[in-house]
Amino acid sequence: DTGVSQDPRHKITKRGQNVTFRCDPISEHNRLYWYRQTLGQGPEFLTYFQNEAQLEKSRLLSDRFSAERPKGSFSTLEIQRTEQGDSAMYLCASSRRSFGEGSRLTVL
């Protein structure tokens, strides 16, 4: 069991650039969740996959955000035209007990 891994752990970008985060879940888990956590707050749900199907999306996920999980394995979260308000920790989980270490985004 290698756990949930996320890449990159830290990303600094300029406003307007696109960024992509990757999540590799625990291999036998077919669920995958993305959460966003801003400083001093609890994580907020963004989206959920069951295998390759994206079954739920939060209203927080604006049209600049897109998530995919091809073949039901790893997942990517892309943010287009980043804004300073996108600065946050993006957490991936493959169960309610298995979270990754997160990808911290800073938009300058």
Burial class (CB in 10 A: 0-12, 13-18, 19+), 14: exposed
Q: How far is CA 90 from the centre of its chain?
A: 5
Judged by beta carbon, residue 39 or residue 85, the one nearer other proteins is 39
Judged by beta carbon, residue 16 or residue 106, the one nearer other proteins is 106
Q: Which two tokens stand for residue 89?
A: 């920790």
Q: Which two tokens stand for residue 54?
A: 């994206």
* H or E element in which residue 105 lies: strand 103-107
Beta carbon of residue 16, minimum distance to other proteins (angstroms, whole number): 26
Residue 25 as a binder of other proteins (CB under 8 A): the answer is no
Question: Which range of residues in 16-24, 35-43, 67-75, 79-87 is near other proteins by CB under 8 A?
Answer: 35-43
Q: 46 to 105, contacts with other proteins by CB under 8 A?
A: 48, 50, 55-56, 89, 91, 93, 95-102, 104
